Amino acid sequence: MAAAISALNAKIRSQPTLSYFCSTHFWGPFSNFGIPIAAILDTQKDPELISGRMTAALTVYAATFMRYSMAVTPKNYLLFACHFINFGAQSTQGVRFLKYWHYGGREEALKMKAQQAVQTTKTETQNVLQQGEDKGKSILHQGEAKLKEVKDKMGK
């Protein structure tokens, strides 16, 4: 059994492309791409959910391992690309965090929510008033019809 595994390993290592796809130089960055993908998807979420400390830690992590990917032999360009994308995504999240919590973004968001609430309330109030007016007209027409009916009976 050991001889079969050894032979398979020798066959894999003899082909450069297959050897690369069976190495940690491929699978490490490949599995690590979940972090930048999540960070990119998080750019669509509310900035109130961003953790400043975690974003800072992930930015430093990405910068550190971006440098490390060029320091190892052989250079790992896939790892570099992974951390380069992660660094960009985390930097974007960091800017969003700073704008929201320190440069008036939160106040602006609250102001817009309040304006939307006021507009919604106005629209709903107008709808209720219109329904009340329609109901009142309906009752008035019914009353006029009954009055006419009573007058017709009295006049006969």
Is the pLDDT at 156 greater than 70, yes or no? no
pTM greater than the 0.85 cutoff? no
Tokens of 65: 């391992």
Is the pLDDT at 44 greater than 90, yes or no? yes
The answer for residues whose C-beta is within 8 angstroms of residue 25's C-beta and 6 or more apart is 74, 76, 78, 79
More confident residue, 79 or 8: 79
